[in-house]
Structure 1
Amino acid sequence: MPVAPPVWTMTRALVLTGVLLLVATSFWSLQLEWRALLTQDALSNAGEFLSGFASPDLSAPMLVKVGHAALETLSMSALGTLIAAVLGLLLALPASGRFGKSLEVTTGLFLNVARSIPELVWASMMLIAAGLGPFAGTIALAAHTTGVFGRLFAESLDNSPPEIEASLRINGASATQAFLYSRLPQAFPQMLSYTLYRWENNIRAAAILGVVGAGGLGQMMKYHLSLFQMSSAATVILAMLLLVAAVDALSFSLRRWLVR
């Protein structure tokens, strides 16, 4: 008599089939014209456009401007990430269910809304409220990243082993003391790793936010590209690449140091 396959196997097969159908439907509905990428005109236009980046402007005045913009981008990402880490930790406490189910649902809904709105949309709203400049970009990064951190930090707290906290409570420690001396120290390394990783992402996001007027390297790149000053734009792009590479290397080294 044949044995029915396990339920979990059938579920995985159904999910995989649904994903494959979704991918196939996506290709069919978008009507992508791949041959248009390889036409003579497309290749010629792309080559002409890229040739303008072959000789970046390395003059002293340009390097000073790019350096200032790079520091502005770095400051936006660092401050936005720091603000989000503090707010995310504060919101992770009710989101992890430590203050009741109703507050958990409300906080979870707020975090979902905060992280579902992209940084560019946050920046557009902040530009209306605060005007052009890095302040709007910093708040936009903080708003989106707070939603991300709140969710990740809450899951870190939920996944921490509860035995140590329960042992402290049994031995007379208060709920706050047990949390500070058991649950939080256990989850802190993972929270710090999340924070460093999101800082890497926010460096890239801060560079893009400048395109809508939030300052930094992105604003410089938009300005020079709009004037077709390709050599100056190439210098800005090189600065972006160097800044991202430096932050990636620093973050990687810090994460390696944490897991030792």
Structure 2
Amino acid sequence: MTRSWCARLAERLAKGCSGRSAFLALTLIYFLLVAACFGSLAGEGELSLGRNPVRNLLRTAVEFARPSFVDVWLGNPEFAYRSDDGTLLRVENRRTVELEYLAGLAGATWTTIRIATLGSLLGAVLALPLAVLTARNLAAPGQLAWLAKATLDVARSIHTLVFGLVLVGIVGLGPTAGILAIALHSMGSYGKLFAESIETLDIASIDAVRSVGAGPVQVFFNAIWPAVLPQFVSSHLYIWEFNIRDSTILGIIGAGGLGLLITEAISLFQWGRLATVLIVVVFLVASFDAISRRIRLALL
């Protein structure tokens, strides 16, 4: 896949300059782009904050400040729903209702973890052979290397949500569409990181294994795999952590998990319940980040 004209222009400027002048030139391009984005949006009137933004912000903040899970202890056990004319419609125990909601939230959290975990693993497996082909120091056949790089570029360019929308139409609603969407997008990121790890290897050690008559598979498992395994694991943990966060929005297109609860809360303006779900998301991502950081430090 051909690179964009912006990337080619930046590369030419970087080659034509050196050191500090190259940095200043690229910085100037960046600020020109920022000015163009801001100016065009301002000219189209798309930077408006709407009517009464402060009042809306305060009202939303007040509702967010009381997450719905506190109803387990503080909820009204005889909460009455009445019509506009005062007619009693029904009475419910808010504590029981919230306990049932939290049980569903736990199930949705487990679904999100499964989608991110299986999608990440599948993406890594699919990316590995493509990374081997695109690594420049392994000198793969030109056409195969180009095709592998183009595949990774396309996969990395298309957002997970777009993949999900397409896959829901193919495999139907449910976690399978989310797993495949995570895998296809992650494949591009994995492939790039894996290929860069391979390119940092000492080519002399690879040639030494080739010189004794080893085939491509033997070269990979004897000279490449042991050297890049720590970096591969670190990359996998990083993208896995990202996919935990990314998979929370896949419920928007019917993949289930926490994203479905987020969509429901937003559509019904249930900001207290949205706050509860977001607290779970933050806790989940923070916990996984702490675990993956420990594992990465152990690999050093």
Same fold (TM over 0.5): yes
Are 1:30 and 2:41 an aligned pair?
A: yes
Q: Report deviation, 1:67.
A: 0.5
2:92 corresponds to 1:81: no
How many positions carry a matched residue from both structures?
253
**Counterpart of 1:198?**
239
Aligned-pair distance for 1:172?
Answer: 4.2
State how far apart, in whole Å, the 1-side matches of 2:63 and 2:176 are: 32
Matches within 5 A, 1:86-235: 86-96=125-135, 98-235=139-276
Q: Distance in 2 between matches of 1:161 and 1:49?
A: 56
Gaps of 5+ in 2: 1-15, 70-97
2:100 is equivalent to residue 61 of structure 1: yes
1:3 corresponding residue in structure 2: none
The one-letter amino acid of 1:231's match is G
Distance 1:116 1:217 in 2: 25
Does structure 1 retain, via aligned residues, the 8 Å contact 2:119–2:180? yes
- Residue 179 of structure 1: how far off its partner (Å): 2.2
CA contact (8 A) 2:41 2:47 kept: no
Change (3 A) 1:173 1:131: closer
Determine the C-alpha separation between the residues in 1 that align with 2:62 and 2:189.
Answer: 39
Q: Which amino acid aligns with 2:103?
A: V
Residues 12-32 of structure 1, C-alpha deviations (whole Å, 9 max, x = no match): 433232222222222222218
Whether contact under 8 Å (2:262, 2:274) holds in the other structure is: yes
Using a 3 Å threshold, how does the CA distance of structure 1 residues 172 and 219 change in structure 2: closer, same or farther? same
Tell whether 2:59 aligns with 1:18.
no
Any unmatched runs of 5+ in structure 1? 1-5
| 2:248 is the alignment partner of 1:237 | no
Partner Cα distance (1:233, 1:196) in 2: 28
Matched, 1:8 2:31: no
User: Normalization by structure 1: what TM-score?
Assistant: 0.89
CA offsets 1:182-221 (integer angstroms, 9 cap, x no match): 1221112111111100011101110011122211001111
Letter in 2 for 1:83: L
**Aligned-partner residue type, residue 242 of structure 1:** F
Taking a change above 3 Å as real, the CA distance of residues 106 and 228 of structure 1, as seen in their structure-2 partners, is same
CA contact (8 A) 2:168 2:177 kept: yes
- Cα contact 1:162–1:183 (8 A) shared by 2: no
The structure-2 alpha-carbon separation of the partners of 1:11 and 1:35, relative to structure 1 and needing over 3 Å to count, comes to: closer
What's the secondary structure of 1:126's corresponding residue? Answer: helix
Greater Rg by CA: 2
Amino acid at match of 2:64: F
**Runs of 4+ with deviation above 3 angstroms:** 9-13, 32-37, 171-175
Quick one: distance in 1 between partners of 2:270 and 2:31? 44
Percent of aligned positions that are identical: 35
Q: From the two aligned structures, give the one with the greater helix fraction.
A: 1
